[in-house]
Amino acid sequence: MSSPRIGVFVCHCGLNIERTVDTQSVSETLRQYSGVAFVSDYDYMCSDPGQQLVSDAIREHRLTGVVIAACSPAMHEPTFRRAADDAGLNSYLVEMANIREHCSWVHLDRAEATAKAVKIIKTMVEKVRGNHPLDPVRIDHVDKCLVIGAGITGIQAALDVADAGFQVLLVEKEPSIGGHMAQLSETFPTLDCSQCILTPKMVEASRHPNIELLTYSEVLDVAGYVGNYTVKIRKNPTYVDPDKCNLCGDCEKVCPQSVPSEFERGLVDRKAIYIPFQQAVPSTYTLDEHSCLGLQPLRCSECAKVCAPGAINFDMQPEILQEEVAAIIVTTGYDMYPILNLGEYGGGDVPDVIDGLQFERMLSASGPTGGQVRRPSDGRVPKRVVFVQCAGSRDPENHNAYCSKICCMYTAKHALLYRHAVPESEAIIFYIDIRAGGKGYEEFVQNATEHEQIQYLRGKVAKIYREGDKVMLWGVDTLSGKKVEIEADLVVLALSMDPHPSTLALTKTLKISCGGEGFLKEAHPKLRPVETLTAGIYVAGAGQGPKDIPESVAQGSAAAAKTIALLTQDKLSHSPETVSIDEEICGGCGVCVGMCPYTALSLTAAGVAECNEVLCEGCGTCVSACPTGAAQLKNLTDFQLREMIEVALADG
Amino acid sequence: MAKAKIGIYWAAACGGCDCALLEVNEQILDVVAAADILLWPCAADPKYSDLRGYKNGEIDIVLFNGAIRTQENRELAQLIRTKTKYLVAFGSCAQSGGVIGLANQSSRDEIFSTVFGDQANWPQLSSNQDGYDLHLPEFLPRLTNLAEVVEVDYVVPGCPPPKQIVSALFTALVAGDLPATGTVFASSKNLCEECSREREQLKITQILRPHAHESDPDKCLLDQGFMCMGPATRGGCLAVCPAANMPCTGCAGPTANIRDQGAAMLNTVASLIGTGEEGEDQLAAEDAILAQFDDIVGTFYRFGAATSIFKERYHERNATTR
Ligand SMILES: Cc1cc2nc3c(=O)[nH]c(=O)nc-3n(C[C@H](O)[C@H](O)[C@H](O)COP(=O)(O)OP(=O)(O)OC[C@H]3O[C@@H](n4cnc5c(N)ncnc54)[C@H](O)[C@@H]3O)c2cc1C
Ligand code: SF4
Ligand code: SF4
Ligand code: SF4
């Protein structure tokens, strides 16, 4: 190869770099460096004229490589690679030398920072010297996407993708879609009826020609890569043929087995054969084999005897489906923090200490009390209800460290709806502080305090216990500094939000990660909130972190937009900066194969390792494990790294 | 065709490499028929003056075994380099410092105290015995391989080099058909390729030493917990050690892309260690496995300590030269 002609472009980034790094002197030094054919500096390299400077220099000086000394490659690498490409230079011959985040922003001494900037740039010149032109890997893809979890977020995402003309597979664990929103009464801040705004979307999802609904189903296994994931799904048997079931409910009447209703949060029982709620989608009964008296051997069969259309089939088997999808949207939502963990609040022990979702069911017109607030213990209408915010949240020593974000709002809503439902009642709220950020949210809380005579007590509740038919609360009013003791008829805990219990196992199946709190982890909290680090897998809704309906829906649509952007591409492209195996060196020891987190490696029949570059994310795990150096990252070989380290450690 | 002129030299060596030359049996007769042996201290008794008497480049090829431990080793290596057309680093010590490179973990003073005891007994560079002035070559502060002192044209790895490799070298030599300089007379791949044991890519869950534990003769030694250097070592020896239930000790050195054989193998072992546990348990389990190592340098750098990235243990050099 003819000798390299590398161009170095030093950015001032306004004063961001120039303030601490002497870009003039950096440029002078680099001009003398071997292999460097052109050096220029500019106020904002990323601006149009800045990019033009790069393209012009590539053409005029026949540059064979480019180093942009500016910000992090995470910011502008694509910008400059595109500019180079336009000028006819392969984009993989362009590298960023980060003299901002790694230098000017973290140093004060101008002389030292300038010297360091020179070093950083020289290491990147060495890298570019060893780079080869590469072409992106092109991948064909299928035209379908999978949505896991059919709460409001999953439904929204599925509808958006389906409306764009692509096939969607919507998988839900429970017998009905709808998620938690189906359980809510009215929703803050506008107080519209939750079911009334949700059910049209549920129906639309079930009728949409592009959506295939798989309820009572779970994702067992996922293999493959963006554009071509192969998923295995188990459809659990409902033992009821939905096409025959006419919803007469005769089976339910005769079933002798009762268990607490999940949908009603245990406020009432359901039968072993049941429909979770009236507007359930799909609209059919489900026989829950765990609470049924026994299918194998068949013990009871009362339901089948009375089912006129003969919809009940005890021989139904689980079905395993295999599907190909291009992208996966994970919207598995949340669960309540276990009330049993709050022993100090009488959780699980005092019947008139309930959680927010139970209260939603009481307030709901379709709920077990027909919208009346009644005590679980004796059915009496409570005259004084105390609401306790942050129950299990913001308590790193004992419970969850994080703020569940929505409880301030729904507690204000609960108190307000309660005051409307029960005249002459008293609503008291214990709070640490009120977090009501959001459109119309602060106004909603203000209205509740001013016009609804809701009493806000700032402080923490220490203990809740039962005394006679009352519930006693001990706490401290931190504003007056006085101890308070309150006698209540009913206590509602605003329990912390946990990720859905299936989250951890599912992330392992999908090979994506969870954050420390267990919620689905996004690729970047600000700039890539619905993407994961695995291409083609997106996250949205309350499964990604506590959030309310508007935010969940927005994220659902965002994940759908990302998916649509992927599906509309003719072919997908994948970075060619992957691993290559030198077959002359690889002896097939197989060490690398088990290391790859993306299962990109295998041993061929000839006994050498082989990398599927579509799967390889270029993480380098195998490279460090490979004992022969046969596995090397393209454009970041051990040889390049050694050259880079050598200039980084050299004097001057 | 004129007879080729060859030389065989030993520096800091045990003598095994010279013996290995004879392992080719009758083939040595072909060598003698095709070439004159001008230099072979182990077999004849050449003097420095004989060597100095040759013209520059007069010898066609010299097989140099042993490491550079003393000033004399260094001077002779330099002298031989001027007299020969091709220089072969023959055996592990010439190639990478060999077993004796492990001495670079100790300072010269530490080595002398261990070997000679009291400082009074240490050898003197110059002394007078019975009226004769005696001079000893300086013991260099650090042992090196041959290539650190002079340019090397070929490498014949092994401790000692195995018969089929020596034979391949002789065949090329007798035919006057030497390969491109820089050639290493061994496989370009790692030893696992030649090893017939079955690898399952299990995790390393324990560290075993061959003298203390019996091994399964069919399964990969590394999978069983014996620190076999095969993955980080060039093949060419036909994996005779693993075949005899001995883990590879790495004598052939690393493959072409590897700068530091021990580091490469340590990376591999570190990647494989684990029990499948997660979180805190995983760390504790891994620590417990790591604690089973006895001698990390001796295990992973048995032949490569002197040419490792660090080359020697860091210590303040003794100011007085001896
Ligand atoms: C007491 C209370 C009151 C609230 N009131 C309001 C309000 O007034 N206004 C408002 O905006 N928000 C309110 N919220 C918040 C609202 O409930 C959430 O924002 C919303 O339900 C989040 O929707 P989602 O689809 O992300 O999650 P979810 O509703 O939890 O739905 C997730 C779905 O995924 C399914 N799933 C989980 N794991 C799997 C799996 N492995 N495989 C297949 N399916 C799976 C679940 O079964 C579920 O159907 C309230 C929350 C609570 C607790
Ligand atoms: S670890 Fe290296 S030598 Fe071993 S099989 Fe993989 S690429 Fe080949
Ligand atoms: S670089 Fe990472 S993703 Fe690519 S093959 Fe190696 S281990 Fe797998
Ligand atoms: S025993 Fe050694 S040489 Fe043989 S396969 Fe295992 S690691 Fe490789």
For the stretch A204-252, pLDDT in tens is: 999 999 999 999 999 999 998 899 999 999 999 999 999 999 999 999 9
Lowest mean pLDDT among A245-259, B139-153, B266-280: B266-280
- CA dist., res. A234 & res. A253, Å (int): 30
Which of B196, B198, B199 has the most ligand 4 atoms within 8 A of CB, as the residue to mutate? Answer: B199
Q: pLDDT at position A141, please?
A: 96
Peptide bond into B160 cis (omega under 30): yes
Q: pLDDT at position B304, please?
A: 97
Q: Which is the closest atom of ligand 3 to the Cα of A617?
A: 3
For ligand 2, atom 1: residue with the closest CA:
A626
How much is the average pLDDT of A307-328? Answer: 96
Task: Name the residue in chain A with its Cα closest to that of B253.
Answer: A628
User: pLDDT tens digits, residue range A336-375?
Assistant: 999 999 999 999 999 999 999 999 999 999 999 999 999 9
Q: pLDDT at position B320, please?
A: 43
Q: pLDDT at position B277, please?
A: 72
Inspect the interface and report whether the beta carbons of B258 and A595 lie closer than 8 Å.
no
CA A435 to chain centre: 23
Q: Which is the closest atom of ligand 1 to the Cα of A359?
A: 1
- Residues constituting chain A: 652
CA distances from B107 to A89, A182, B102, B112 (A): 54, 77, 11, 9
| Cα–Cα–Cα angle for A50, A56, A58, rounded to 5 degrees | 110
Instruction: State if residue A496 touches ligand 1 by the CB under 6 angstroms criterion.
Output: no
Which of B222, B226, B261 has the most ligand 4 atoms within 8 A of CB, as the residue to mutate? Answer: B222
Token code pair at residue A402: 């994080």
- CA dist., res. A472 & res. A483, Å (int): 13
- CA dist., res. A60 & res. A11, Å (int): 20
Query: Which residues of chain A make contact with B188, given a CB cutoff of 8 A?
Result: 584-585
Q: Is the pLDDT of residue A58 over 50?
A: yes
Pick from A580, A603, A624, A628 the residue to mutate for testing the B interface (most B CBs within 10 Å). A628
Lowest mean pLDDT among A86-100, A607-621, B198-212: B198-212
Task: Name the residue in chain B with its Cα closest to that of A589.
Answer: B192
How far away, in angstroms, is A616 Cα from ligand 3 center? 5
Nearest to B205, CA basis, from B177, B226, B188: B226
Query: Which residues of chain A make contact with B260, given a CB cutoff of 8 A?
Result: none
Task: Name the residue in chain A with its Cα closest to that of B279.
Answer: A516
User: pLDDT tens digits, residue range A368-400?
Assistant: 999 999 999 999 999 999 999 999 999 999 999
How far away, in angstroms, is A178 Cα from ligand 1 center? 8
Q: pLDDT at position A546, please?
A: 97
User: pLDDT tens digits, residue range A546-596?
Assistant: 999 999 999 999 999 999 999 999 999 999 999 999 999 999 999 999 999
User: pLDDT tens digits, residue range B241-278?
Assistant: 999 999 999 999 999 999 999 999 999 999 999 877 77
How much is the average pLDDT of A259-264? Answer: 97
Q: pLDDT at position B216, please?
A: 95
With an 8 Å Cβ cutoff, is A591 touching chain B? yes
Q: How confident is the model at residue B322 (pLDDT cuts 50, 70, 90)?
A: very low
Percent of chain A scoring above 90 in pLDDT: 94
Query: Which residues of chain B make contact with A627, given a CB cutoff of 8 A?
Result: 190, 231-232, 258, 264-265, 267-268
What string of DSSP letters covers B61-95? EEEEESBEEEHHHHHHHHHHHHHEEEEEEESHHHH
Q: b/e string for B111-147 if b means 16 or more Cβ within 10 A? A: ebeeeeeeeeeeeeeeeeeeeeeeeeeebbebbbbbb
Q: pLDDT at position B321, please?
A: 41
For ligand 2, atom 2: residue with the closest CA:
A626
Q: How confident is the model at residue B318 (pLDDT cuts 50, 70, 90)?
A: very low
Q: Nearest CA to CA, how far is A232 from chain B (Å)? A: 25
Domains of chain A: 6-134 (3.40.50), 144-227+320-328+510-565 (3.50.50.60), 250-306 (no CATH), 335-498 (3.50.50.60), 575-634 (3.30.70.20)
Inspect the interface and report whether the beta carbons of B268 and A627 lie closer than 8 Å.
yes
For ligand 3, atom 4: residue with the closest CA:
A616
* A16 and A46 Cβ atoms separated by less than 8 Å: no
Q: Which is the closest atom of ligand 4 to the Cα of A587?
A: 8
Pick from B191, B192, B234, B278 the residue to mutate for testing the A interface (most A CBs within 10 Å). B192
Q: How confident is the model at residue A651 (pLDDT cuts 50, 70, 90)?
A: confident
Inspect the interface and report whether the beta carbons of B271 and A621 lie closer than 8 Å.
yes
In sequence order, the 6+-apart residues with CB closer than 8 A to the CB of B10 are B17, B18, B41, B42, B64, B65, B66
- CA dist., res. B10 & res. B46, Å (int): 12
Q: Count other C-beta atoms under 10 Å from residue B181's C-beta.
A: 11
Q: pLDDT at position B283, please?
A: 86
Place of tokens 């490792």: B308
How far away, in angstroms, is A409 Cα from ligand 1 center? 15
Q: Is the pLDDT of residue B147 over 50?
A: yes
How much is the average pLDDT of B206-225? Answer: 94
Q: How confident is the model at residue B319 (pLDDT cuts 50, 70, 90)?
A: very low
What's the mean per-residue pLDDT of chain A? 96
Q: Which is the closest atom of ligand 4 to the Cα of B191?
A: 3
Domains of chain B: 4-101+139-174 (3.40.50.700), 191-311 (no CATH)
Strands A286-287 and A273-274: antiparallel
* B170 and B34 Cβ atoms separated by less than 8 Å: no
Q: Which is the closest atom of ligand 2 to the Cα of A601?
A: 6
> Angle formed by the axes of helices A407-421 and A441-451, to 10°?
40
How much is the average pLDDT of B213-224? Answer: 94
How far away, in angstroms, is B237 Cα from ligand 4 center? 13
Task: Name the residue in chain A with its Cα closest to that of B203.
Answer: A594
Query: Which residues of chain A make contact with B201, given a CB cutoff of 8 A?
Result: 590-591, 593-594
How much is the average pLDDT of B6-29? Answer: 94
Q: pLDDT at position A13, please?
A: 96
HEC-encoded secondary structure of A463-478: EEEEECCEEEEEEEEC
Q: Is the pLDDT of residue A1 over 70?
A: no
- CA dist., res. A38 & res. B127, Å (int): 64
Query: Which residues of chain A make contact with B189, given a CB cutoff of 8 A?
Result: 584-588, 628
Q: How confident is the model at residue A513 (pLDDT cuts 50, 70, 90)?
A: very high
Inspect the interface and report whether the beta carbons of A591 and B256 lie closer than 8 Å.
no
Nearest by CB to B190, from A594, A628, A638: name it.
A628
User: pLDDT tens digits, residue range A454-463?
Assistant: 999 999 999 9
Percent of chain B scoring above 90 in pLDDT: 82
With an 8 Å Cβ cutoff, is A584 touching chain B? yes
Q: Is the pLDDT of residue A447 over 70?
A: yes
Q: Which is the closest atom of ligand 4 to the Cα of B221?
A: 1
Q: Nearest CA to CA, how far is A221 from chain B (Å)? A: 20
- CA dist., res. A530 & res. A519, Å (int): 13
- CA dist., res. A115 & res. A20, Å (int): 11
DSSP3 helix / strand / coil % (chain A, rounded to 5):
30, 25, 45
Q: pLDDT at position B1, please?
A: 56
Complex confidence, ipTM: 0.91
- CA dist., res. B284 & res. B298, Å (int): 25
For ligand 3, atom 3: residue with the closest CA:
A616
Instruction: State if residue A586 touches ligand 2 by the CB under 6 angstroms criterion.
Output: yes
What's the mean per-residue pLDDT of chain B? 93
Nearest by CB to A595, from B188, B256, B271: name it.
B271
Task: Name the residue in chain B with its Cα closest to that of A608.
Answer: B193
